[in-house]
Chain A
Amino acid sequence: MKINIQKICGKKTVTRDDGEKIHDIIVKEWDHSPTFIINFDNILVASVSFIDEAFGKLALEHNKDALRQKLKFEKMVDYDRALLNDIMFSRFRQKELGQNGNSFNGKM
């Protein structure tokens, strides 16, 4: 499945609500789609809230291999890619520490 961030979110790539749109699409199609090709069109997102809500939370539900296999990020600027990796590792650490993420449903 192809997901174009700009087409779905336009300029709204800042808040958790914005990120939730992408998250919901991925969750809905997770079992039906072998891969998600997520295209950022080289726009700079630079928002922890957006990236965490859209992708970070997936780390609480799935392991590294599954995420690496399913999610492909295209035309993503280096800054956002570094941020995405940092957030994913933070979420994995959180999972390892045994926090189940119940506190994460809110908005930051």
Chain B
Amino acid sequence: MLLSGGAQLCIETLMELFYPRLHTIAYTNSLFRLYNQAKARDCSKLIFDLTSTEFITPMGIILLAGTISECLQSGMRVGYRSPKKIGTRKFLAGIGFNDFFNLQDLNHKIESPNVQLRRLDSIDYLLTDQIIYVFGNSINMTDGVKGSLKLALNELMSNAFDHSESKRGCYVCAQSYPQAKSIRLCIADFGIGILRALRKSPSFGYLQADADGIILAVQEGVTSREGMGYAGYGLSHINRFEKVNQGRLCIISGNGKVVWDYKNQKYRPLRQTMHFPFDGTIINLEINSDKKGLYFLKSEESSLF
């Protein structure tokens, strides 16, 4: 408790957010509960306690960094307790989390290819190149596939800048896991979400559920009329790639979570309602990175023009 100015009573309220052991897509309900607690701003100081945390995916990094950034932006005092596990602390350092908040902790370089945590306000073509490099390091792709993925990723990011109404652009982070033969990429914004963006168009005013909006946004070319729509080509192309790759695409927006789990031969999107909503949009990709096969575009096989 703090007393200030004699007659005025100021109370400093402290809230501690205890993060779980795993920050993965399977634990999004727990992570969103913490995100919503932080967003409620029912305190003057917030402690992000990661002492129990042992494993964080790029999605977990972005959610954590985005939540902390939003709190800092609102003028809240923020504290941070780093993980006890040294490997996790090293990973946070290597993936750019410490640099992102100027935290003085370990220095560490991750050996496997990655894209360090970044927040973007506009498209950064070098960053897209870097993502494609991470992919290309483990997957055999033609230049056509690389080019089309690059464009699709740029489209996803442009959507975050142009349509999500996010005040802080979008966050990007990727990590290759050679032993698990997979690559994880996450692109997320803390904007208005897919459903609200689509519903600004009269064509999609009928949409009620977040999951319906997500499923619609993944269809080729779907966008709203007044330039306020969401994905057009980006998501559908990424989804096609995931299907061929037998990977997994997960999109979370509002209280909807939809997973295209091609890895487990589930070709229909799996819908889930989150207990705690997330205002923005999270696009999480898991890519199989075994080097079998070559990815090429149909159009590279037979060109029309």
Contacts and interface: CB of A to CB of B under 8 A. Distances in A.
Interface of A: 46, 48-49, 52, 64, 67-68, 71, 73, 79, 81-90, 93-94, 99, 101-108
Interface stretch (B93-101, B166-174, B217-225): B217-225
Contacts of B143: 82
Give the contact-size bracket for chain B: 20 to 34
Contact of B223 (A68, A82, A107): A107
A52 B223 CA distance: 13
Contacts of A108: 155, 159, 221, 223, 229, 231-233
Nearest to A103: B222
Given A64-B304, A71-B305, A82-B148, 11 more contacts: A67-B304, A73-B305, A82-B144, A82-B147, A83-B151, A86-B144, A88-B305, A93-B220, A104-B221, A108-B223, A108-B229
B233 A52 contact: yes
B304 A106 contact: no
B298 interface: yes
B111 interface: no
Given A52-B233, A106-B227, A107-B227, A81 B220 contact: no
Contacts of A68: 304-305
Contact of A89 (B227, B233, B304): B304
Contacts of B237: 90
B151 A84 contact: no
Interface of B: 143-144, 147-148, 151-152, 155, 159, 201, 203, 219-227, 229, 231-233, 236-237, 297-300, 303-305
Nearest to B225: A106
B134 to A, nearest CB: 21
- Nearest 5 A/B pairs, CB to CB: A108-B232, A85-B299, A106-B225, A107-B227, A106-B223
A82 B203 contact: no
A79 to B, nearest CB: 6
Report whether over half of chain A's contact residues are helix, strand or loop; otherwise say mixed.
Answer: helix
Nearest to A59: B304
13 contacts: A49-B155, A71-B305, A79-B147, A82-B148, A84-B305, A85-B303, A86-B144, A86-B299, A103-B223, A104-B223, A106-B201, A108-B229, A108-B231
Contact of A94 (B221, B223, B298): B221
Contacts of A88: 299, 304-305
Contacts of B201: 106
Contacts of A107: 223, 225-227, 229
A48 B220 contact: no
A106 B226 contact: yes
B142 to A, nearest CB: 9
B229 A89 contact: no
A81 B305 contact: yes
A94 B220 contact: yes
Contacts of A90: 220-221, 233, 236-237
Contacts of B233: 48, 52, 87, 90, 108
A52 B303 CA distance: 16
A87 to B, nearest CB: 8
A71 to B, nearest CB: 7
Contacts of A84: 304-305
A44 to B, nearest CB: 11
Given A64-B304, A103-B222, A103-B223, A86 B297 contact: yes
Contacts of B151: 46, 48, 83
A93 B220 CA distance: 10
